[in-house]
Chains A and B, each alone.
Chain A
Amino acid sequence: MTMQSISRRDFLRTSGLVAGSAALAACAAPGPAPAASEGNDTMAAEPQTISWWYAWGNLDPAVESISQLESFKAHIGENTTLDYRGSTNNEAVLTALAAGDPPDGGSNMDYPGLWSRGVCLPVNDMVDSSEIIDPNEVVDAVWQGGFYGADLIGVPSIESFLWYGLNYNAQHVEEAGLDPDDPPLTWEGVMEWHKELSQFDDGGNVLRIGLDPIDAMAGEPDFIATSYGHTWWNDEEQTFHLDHELMAQGIETQAEFFRFIGPDNFAGLRSVEGQGTWGAAFNAEVQSMIIEGYWHAGETTIQKPEVAVHNRATWAPVPAFREGAKIMATGPHMVQIYRDGKNPDGIFKVAEFLHTEEPLNIIFHEVGWIMGIQSWLPTIDADTFPGLRFYIDNIEEVTDWIVGRRSPIHWFVNTQLWDLREQVYRDLITPQEAVTELQKRAEDEWEAQGL
């Protein structure tokens, strides 16, 4: 019923990223910055607003800075203001869309889910006629990740780079008597560290955990599948392959991390230390390792510099039988343009402007994020944030690439995986039962959504 298949197309797509980064490594000197075309469009006489919602909570300061730029004002038109709203989740956008009164654009939403509901404009034509956005400049895998069939479902922008790494607090590691220069690369090794790094008080209550195995990127189905060398979503055939031995093994591995800490301790810690908020537990030093992407370096530096100085990164773990595999994912964040928005041209201009050097730099320095634009990437100093260099230097070493979050019901599968995985680590069902059920739920949802 299921087959282990790493689609050829995925590979071809991602190989573009490797080629692109190879080029960037060769090109040590800063490349030419793309020139911002300033206000060469017709000015709107009427005062206009452009509304843009995004789910991030930490992007606001950068967007504020960007909206103050003269070049930005000139680009969107002097009479136009940007009305941005952070920390706005997918549900808020859904209800706004349902009400027929959505913002002009949205970011960090369930991109394919919204697209499949037919509420977004394809942006192919806008991009084709843009003088600023050059698809060839964008890392190929990121750009291609924005396509569904022939349609580009949003403008890849803001933040799109490398997704997977094991980030760890070197100070904690040293204190535990481990060698921060020799980090584990397999789940078995990470488990050893997990046991050494976790701390309990006399009453058996947890004070610090080594790794929350489902924090940040690690909670998503893409990650555990890729780590175990499996592909759960076939993009070409639009089919699920969740009911698979490797998925079950991956879930069981994660469950072991929970069992060591105690599921209740974990749930309690998660509810208070902000494990729901990526990186918060690491920043609060109640967690020593976290699996997420390059942004961890910058975000931690900006939010908790005293913790960030101890931050290091290495490859995200794989099982022992895959030792040596170096996994990495990428994919686009984008500005999606809503069909019922009032100012599609305006929001496109915002997306366009985000491809220029000034905002790229602002977002990098104020938020810690990187957009995969090839001429700009070499201008980044990999030592800006502790731990960032690992990602920049090792792109070519990657053996297993994936373009993540491709399934239109990726987020549904994600929540169901969380649900079932909890039943596994509380020993209520077996991992095999979990993946079988997961497969069934995914197929039912697919049908229920009328896809």
Chain B
Amino acid sequence: MTTIASESTTRPVPRHYRDTGNRWQTVLLEVFKYAVLIPLTLSFAFPLYWMISSALKVDSQVYTMPPILLPFPVHPENFINGWQILPFTQYAVNSVVFYTVPAVAFTVLSSTIVAYGFSRIRWPGRDTIFWLVVMTMMLPWAVTMVPLFITFKWLGWLDTYRPLVVPALFSHPYIVFLLRQFFMTLPEELSDAARIDGASEFGILFRIILPLTKPALAVVALFRFLWAWNDYLGPLIYLRDENRYPLALGIEQLSRRANDVGNFSNGIPYLMAVSTLVALPIIVTFFFAQRTFIEGISLTGMKG
């Protein structure tokens, strides 16, 4: 007698109904649920579907009424032509080599060390100071935007990726927080045994703790990758030279050109094609690392 529509389950529970009244209620609820969920999901999916399908059109298919849902013939050459209007290969290299890779590597490395200090070593005042970390998580980045710009200007770092990646060497509070949560779950005896064997703390971190927290590292690396790949405001503030643009600024540049009607035809399809290509690594990563994503995101909320 436990048939409840909103029941929390991970596995399907066999259906059996207590009485007709309840059954009708249940059936109605089921119908209602799908009647809401399916259109809702479709509308969530539609913008991205529209992006991809528009990427396969030419102008005459874009400006048609009513809008064409399934383009035919398709024009996959837009992906190549759109990519070549601006130096997108260069932008991609910039995004990966100068921004994403160093940002991820620096953040994960430094945050691991810091998180270790906040979780696996007992020192007086630790938890008080950790509160400061939690506080900085909530600090609006807008507050430091202007003075940091002035500082980086003074250092002569404008128009480079340094303002975007060097701070990553000093750990990221959010990632420290997540890693600390993971580290805390490991039994203290692991470290104690190693200490008795004369291992240094760094040795313990890299040889014992890290191999056990690979999934956690994957989660935070994934997050950091996402932030860097998707970042728009940071590069907008610090980068001026178009040759150094990351993909995010490249897309914006293309949209300016595409909206300028006189410039070239198929502006919208090209723009959609390039947007698709830039979103693609994220979407592909998601489907390959779905579990990691979902677990990571779920963990985010754990602290309550």
- Interface residue ranges, A against B (CB under 8 Å): 57, 85, 88, 92, 95-96, 98-101, 271-274, 276-277, 279-281, 283-284, 303-304
Q: Is B158 interfacial (CB 8 A cutoff)?
A: yes
- CB pair A304 B242 closer than 8 Å: no
Residue-by-residue, is B226-254 near A (CB-CB < 8 Å gives 1, otherwise 0)?
00000000000000101000000000000
Q: What 16 new A-B contacts, CB under 8 Å, besides A277-B259, A277-B260, A277-B262?
A: A57-B260, A96-B159, A96-B240, A99-B159, A100-B156, A101-B156, A101-B159, A272-B259, A274-B259, A274-B261, A276-B259, A280-B259, A280-B261, A281-B261, A283-B262, A284-B262
- CB pair B259 A303 closer than 8 Å: no
- Nearest first, the 5 closest Cβ-Cβ pairs linking A and B are A284-B261, A99-B158, A303-B262, A283-B262, A277-B260
- CB pair A304 B262 closer than 8 Å: yes
How many angstroms between the C-alpha atoms of A280 and B263 in the bound complex? 9
- CB pair A274 B262 closer than 8 Å: yes
Interface range on chain B: under 10, 10 to 19, 20 to 34, or 35 or more?
Answer: 10 to 19
Closest residue of chain A to B257 (Cβ to Cβ) is: A57
Measured between beta carbons, the chain B residues less than 8 angstroms from A95 are 158, 240
- CB pair B260 A280 closer than 8 Å: yes
Measured between beta carbons, the chain A residues less than 8 angstroms from B153 are 98-100
When A92-B240, A95-B240, A96-B240 are in contact, do A280 and B262 touch as well, CB less than 8 Å? yes
How many angstroms between the C-alpha atoms of A290 and B24 in the bound complex? 67
Closest residue of chain B to A276 (Cβ to Cβ) is: B259
| Segment 240-293 of B: residues with Cβ below 8 Å from A | 240, 242, 259-263
Least distance between B85 CB and chain A CB atoms (Å): 13
Measured between beta carbons, the chain A residues less than 8 angstroms from B260 are 57, 274, 277, 280
Measured between beta carbons, the chain A residues less than 8 angstroms from B156 are 99-101
Most chain A CB atoms below 10 A, which of B153, B240, B242: B240
Least distance between A56 CB and chain B CB atoms (Å): 12
Measured between beta carbons, the chain B residues less than 8 angstroms from A57 are 260
How many angstroms between the C-alpha atoms of A273 and B159 in the bound complex? 32
Closest residue of chain B to A86 (Cβ to Cβ) is: B242
Instruction: Supply 20 A–B pairs (Cβ within 8 Å), ascending by A.
Output: A57-B260, A85-B242, A95-B240, A98-B158, A99-B153, A100-B153, A101-B159, A271-B259, A272-B259, A274-B259, A274-B261, A274-B262, A276-B259, A277-B259, A277-B260, A280-B261, A280-B262, A281-B261, A283-B261, A284-B262
Task: State the main secondary structure of chain B at its contact with A.
Answer: loop
Measured between beta carbons, the chain A residues less than 8 angstroms from B158 are 95-96, 98-99, 101
Least distance between B86 CB and chain A CB atoms (Å): 11
How many angstroms between the C-alpha atoms of A201 and B261 in the bound complex? 21
How many angstroms between the C-alpha atoms of A141 and B198 in the bound complex? 85
Least distance between B166 CB and chain A CB atoms (Å): 16
Measured between beta carbons, the chain B residues less than 8 angstroms from A281 are 261
Measured between beta carbons, the chain B residues less than 8 angstroms from A273 are 259, 261
Measured between beta carbons, the chain A residues less than 8 angstroms from B242 are 85
Least distance between A239 CB and chain B CB atoms (Å): 33
How many angstroms between the C-alpha atoms of A377 and B259 in the bound complex? 35
Closest residue of chain B to A273 (Cβ to Cβ) is: B261
Residue-by-residue, is B168-187 near A (CB-CB < 8 Å gives 1, otherwise 0)?
00000000000000000000
Measured between beta carbons, the chain B residues less than 8 angstroms from A272 are 259
Measured between beta carbons, the chain A residues less than 8 angstroms from B261 are 273-274, 280-281, 283-284
Closest residue of chain B to A271 (Cβ to Cβ) is: B259
Measured between beta carbons, the chain B residues less than 8 angstroms from A280 are 259-262
How many angstroms between the C-alpha atoms of A95 and B163 in the bound complex? 15
| Segment 208-240 of B: residues with Cβ below 8 Å from A | 240
Closest residue of chain B to A274 (Cβ to Cβ) is: B260
How many angstroms between the C-alpha atoms of A389 and B259 in the bound complex? 30
How many angstroms between the C-alpha atoms of A92 and B242 in the bound complex? 11
How many angstroms between the C-alpha atoms of A205 and B158 in the bound complex? 46
How many angstroms between the C-alpha atoms of A261 and B110 in the bound complex? 58
Closest residue of chain B to A277 (Cβ to Cβ) is: B260
Measured between beta carbons, the chain B residues less than 8 angstroms from A271 are 259
Measured between beta carbons, the chain B residues less than 8 angstroms from A98 are 153, 158
How many angstroms between the C-alpha atoms of A303 and B262 in the bound complex? 6
Closest residue of chain B to A88 (Cβ to Cβ) is: B240
Measured between beta carbons, the chain A residues less than 8 angstroms from B259 are 271-274, 276-277, 280
Closest residue of chain B to A57 (Cβ to Cβ) is: B260
Closest residue of chain A to B258 (Cβ to Cβ) is: A274
Closest residue of chain B to A91 (Cβ to Cβ) is: B240
Most chain A CB atoms below 10 A, which of B153, B259, B260, B263: B260
How many angstroms between the C-alpha atoms of A85 and B253 in the bound complex? 14
Least distance between A96 CB and chain B CB atoms (Å): 6
Closest residue of chain A to B253 (Cβ to Cβ) is: A87
Most chain B CB atoms below 10 A, which of A99, A271, A277: A99
Most chain A CB atoms below 10 A, which of B242, B260, B262: B262
How many angstroms between the C-alpha atoms of A95 and B152 in the bound complex? 12
Closest residue of chain A to B158 (Cβ to Cβ) is: A99
Measured between beta carbons, the chain B residues less than 8 angstroms from A88 are 240
How many angstroms between the C-alpha atoms of A274 and B268 in the bound complex? 13
Measured between beta carbons, the chain B residues less than 8 angstroms from A274 are 259-262
Closest residue of chain B to A307 (Cβ to Cβ) is: B262
Residue-by-residue, is B37-50 near A (CB-CB < 8 Å gives 1, otherwise 0)?
00000000000000
How many angstroms between the C-alpha atoms of A407 and B159 in the bound complex? 31
Least distance between A255 CB and chain B CB atoms (Å): 25
Least distance between A91 CB and chain B CB atoms (Å): 9
How many angstroms between the C-alpha atoms of A273 and B156 in the bound complex? 39
